[in-house]
């Protein structure tokens, strides 16, 4: 993969993009770009048409950026269209883990990451009803595992969940 920095005016949005970016979405994209900068390139075809990352492209333009990072794909046009749809759809199919997200969002240092107060409250309410499946206190045991990095923590968490252990992640 070859990342290039190009003049934003040399690119065009995909006129056939099926994904629309309303005001709230565009505002969240712009806030993310302001806070974090561009952390992943957009995908363009050989003619400079944005095939994946149209929201990021629109947000950067609205912020007045003159340049943006891109990856040029050499996939045929129909494959690029299919990729763009699949890229949006796979993100849409993901779900939040309310316990993990609630734990992360409770850290004041995290700041605004695009959730409204009502959405945050919903996650808190979803976690309030969580009950550890046990009837006797001596049936509940806790294990603290120290992992070398976030990837190791994720792998251990997924393995324990797959083996049927109720797990929760906490960050310190």
Which pLDDT band holds residue 130 (cuts at 50, 70, 90)? low
CATH fold of 3-93 reads 3.90.1530
Overall average pLDDT of the 57-80 stretch: 96
List pLDDT tens digits, range 140-165.
566 777 777 778 788 888 888 888 77
Name the segment(s) of the chain with CATH classification 3.90.1530.10: 3-93
Distance, in Å, from the CA atom of 16 to the CA atom of 108, rounded to the nearest integer, reads 40
pLDDT of 135 higher than 60: no
| Helix H or strand E encompassing 23 | helix 23-36
Q: How confident is the model at residue 138 (pLDDT cuts 50, 70, 90)?
A: low
pLDDT in tens, 14-45: 988 889 999 999 999 999 999 999 999 999 99
């Amino acid at each position: 993969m070859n990342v290039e920095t190009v003049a934003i005016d040399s690119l065009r949005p995909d006129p056939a993009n099926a994904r629309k970016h309303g005001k709230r979405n565009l505002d969240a994209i712009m806030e993310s770009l302001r806070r974090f900068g561009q952390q992943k390139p957009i995908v363009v075809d050989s003619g400079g048409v944005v095939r994946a990352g149209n929201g990021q492209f629109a947000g950067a333009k609205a912020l007045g950026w003159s340049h943006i990072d891109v990856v040029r794909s050499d996939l045929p046009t129909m494959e690029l269209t299919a990729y763009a749809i699949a890229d949006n759809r796979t993100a849409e199919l993901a779900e939040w883990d309310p316990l993990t997200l609630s734990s992360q969002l409770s850290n004041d240092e995290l700041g605004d990451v695009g959730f409204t107060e009502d959405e945050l409250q919903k996650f808190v309410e979803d976690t309030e009803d969580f009950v550890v499946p046990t009837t006797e206190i001596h049936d509940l045991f806790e294990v603290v595992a120290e992992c070398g990095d976030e990837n190791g923590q994720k792998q251990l968490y997924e393995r324990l969940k797959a083996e049927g252990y109720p797990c929760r992640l906490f960050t310190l």
